[in-house]
Amino acid sequence: MSTGTRTTDSTPLTAGTTATGVTARTGGAARLAGRRAVVTGGTRGIGAAIVARLVAEGASVLTTARAPGGRLPEGVRFVTADAAVADDAARVARAAETELGGVDILINNAGGTVTRPDSVLDTDDEEWRHNLETNLMGAVRLDRAVLPGMIARGAGVIVHVSSTAAHEPMEEAAAYSAAKAALSAYSKNLADRLGPRGVRVNRISPGLTITSAAEELLERTAARDGSDRETALETWVAGLGGIPLQRPGTPEDIAALVAFLVSDEAAWITGADHVIDGGMLRAP
């Protein structure tokens, strides 16, 4: 595995615009100028949108993934790492110290699962362990690796990307739902402990978000059912009970919330779970 490898977008970027087309705030200095951020799982989907948004807001960013892929905004550092591998957390923290000089912002985004029709009974011990390693312990270990620097400076922000599945468990992803619920509980505990030391910790719980992985699932579902993408999406949304705002989310929707939470505009927000799902969850 490589540490401190630099991966940049070969296409020149126009002022204030990232490789994914996110436009920076105008009318003054970028609100994250001078901040150093680490984003796990940042080469596709929500993670890639978060990387692009933080760069657009002025942050210096290092991101990770299990393998290189996608096109990163100019200047973004890349480190190969797997959230499920224990030793990788310390290696990412060392790379961030070398490449960025420290970490002011940590976004624990890496995660995922395999779905199956009867996940409660069909998920074996190995898959349970993998879900817990990927969706919980990866964040725990990386937090532990970067927090000494944040505590020493008396400042820092951590965001854990959880899921609405932590609130309403997915029948086809029992282990994932349980792991995300555990992440949410851990995140709240961490926030309570770190607040007096100047470090804020929040979590976000995205609902149905159209990423490349979601698009692939829609294509497979449409092919299986002999329908089309739109019908597959309508069926998916109906199975969730509908979305009051009448559309699924985009990675950019999620990235906008993250950018706010790590900015000084959210200086009095910590220990909170920010559900971003278009109103999908029915529980208050």
Residues marked active site are found at 176
Angle, to 10 degrees, between the axis of helix 138-153 and the axis of helix 174-194?
A: 10
Residue 75 gets the label, from left (phi > 0), alpha (psi -120 to 50) or beta, of: left
- Percent helix, strand, coil in the chain (nearest 5)? 45, 15, 40
Strand order in the sheet with 36-39: 77-80, 60-65, 36-39, 105-108, 156-161, 199-206, 273-276
| DSSP reduced 3-state for 67 | coil
Let me know: does 13 contact 71? Beta carbons within 8 Å: no
Residue 89 CA: distances (Å) to CA of 138, 164, 209: 7, 26, 27
DSSP states along 103-164: -SEEEE--------TTHHHH--HHHHHHHHIIIIIHHHHHHHHHHHHHHHHT-EEEEEE--G
Beta strand 273-276 with 60-65: parallel, antiparallel or unpaired? unpaired
Let me know: does 281 contact 211? Beta carbons within 8 Å: no
Let me know: does 41 contact 64? Beta carbons within 8 Å: yes
